[in-house]
Amino acid sequence: MKVKETNMQDNRDQSESALEGLRVLDIGTFIAAPFSATLMGEFGAEVYKIELPGVGDHARRLGTPTESGDTLVWLSEARNKKSVCIDLRTTEGAEIFKSLVAVSDVVCENFQAGTLERWGLGWDTLSAINPRLVLLRISGYGQTGPNANLPCFGRIANAFGGLSFLSGEADRAPAQPGSATLADYMAGLFGAFAVQTALRARDRTGKGQVIDLGLYEGIFRILDEVAPAYQQNGFVRQREGAETPIVVPHSHYPSKDDRWLAIACTNDRIFARLVEDAMGRPDLVTDPRYATNAARILHRKEVNSIVTAWTITMPRDEVLSRCAKAEVPCGPVYSIDEIFEDPQYAARENILYFEDDRIGQFAMPNVVPRLEGTPGRINWLGPVLGSHTDEVLRDILHMDEAMIERLRKDGIV
């Protein structure tokens, strides 16, 4: 494994942050809404992670444990956040939270629908305290509808959203589409986008608003033409393994050295370059069975057999080289160890190596997307539970030490 030292001081001293001055309260758990807050924190928002005293976010125990006491998931996904312990279920804890809401811009939560209302922290209450507040609410099925009160996690959202049904081989049971947390990350992305949109609207109107997002909705949104194809033609897309139903060849193919590569011929011109320039088979361009994408779809097995018969004769790197020369989209099907060795990942600094006193060198995905003028950055890993509680109570809410000590003794913070 290649190891790269990254100077984090240089990273911190770059130009000003895009979201500097934005204060975010993250009261969610696990991944979905917290990921929205993480994305904002990477671009300069001041993010306070509100956690239950003595317990913390469940993400601290999700995934592989480390010697720091928290998991790899927490250290990576809670980066740039400040941990503040407040028991929102208590009357006094809820009052402290309300005081923070009064001086904040965004609240991110992903409890089951109705939870905030049971705590006396519903939208009516919070918006009365701060009319400019933006409240991001991510729940399994959204705040409305017959399923609103049902529990839900990423795996359920992948299934309910329609993606799991499409994942796997045609003659096998539906497979997990990559990761059970895909729905959480998709919801987090849509949530972060929605918050910025709501803040832009606030700039014009002076008013905040609620963002209501179901965990499954981000999954359903990315299913390309599945919905209109059903409505227009009654077509129910089935599992096709690595295949893409609407274009051929567009799949994964084996190489001589027992590796895999992806080839994507999304139109007839690319197919012509593949068979003529890369494969040396100009006869396939004029063959009526393969000349057009519509014809190739009808002869999918034959087309894939022809391509496979070619790729299997040489090492993966040679296939990649020939396709690149012919300007045919083609890439390796990477495992994580290959990603760590790849020069493109290195050149783009997609893997960030961070030095942390608790765990030493820590590798994680770098900030995405890349902004040249106001780049995102990572200043610290997921924080120690409650490590910023005193700072917030003292510096933001102006409590004295005696009050803070009393709150801690009573288990409120």
Q: Is residue 82 part of a domain?
A: yes
Assigned domain for 243 exists: no
Q: What is the pTM of this model?
A: 0.93
pLDDT in tens, 375-405: 999 999 999 999 999 999 999 999 999 999 9
Domain span at residue 283?
250-340
184 is catalytic: yes
Same-domain status, 321 and 381: no
Q: The CATH number of the domain where 314 resides is what?
A: 3.30.1540.10
Residue 39: other Cβ atoms inside 10 A: 24
Closest-CA residue to 340 (of 8, 6, 7, 3) = 3
Token pair recorded at residue 167: 């994942």
How many domains does the structure of the chain reveal? 2
Dist CA 63 CA 379 (whole Å): 22
Q: Are residues 28 and 131 in the same domain?
A: yes
Element (H, E) at 261: strand 260-264
Which of these is catalytic: 184, 257, 283, 400? 184
pLDDT tens per residue across all 413 residues of the chain: 444 444 343 444 446 899 999 999 999 999 999 999 999 999 999 999 999 999 999 999 999 999 999 999 999 999 999 999 999 999 999 999 999 999 999 999 999 999 999 999 999 999 999 999 999 999 999 999 999 999 999 999 999 999 999 999 999 999 999 999 999 999 999 999 999 999 999 999 999 999 999 999 999 999 999 999 999 999 999 999 999 999 999 999 999 999 999 999 999 999 999 999 999 999 999 999 999 999 999 999 999 999 999 999 999 999 999 999 999 999 999 999 999 999 999 999 999 999 999 999 999 999 999 999 999 999 999 999 999 999 999 999 999 999 999 999 999 99
Contacts of 375 (CB under 8 A, 6+ apart): 14, 15, 367
Indicate whether 350 belongs to any domain: no
Asked if residue 143 belongs to a domain, the reply is: yes
| Residues 116, 22 within the same domain | yes
Q: Which of 292, 324, 340 is the last residue of a domain?
A: 340
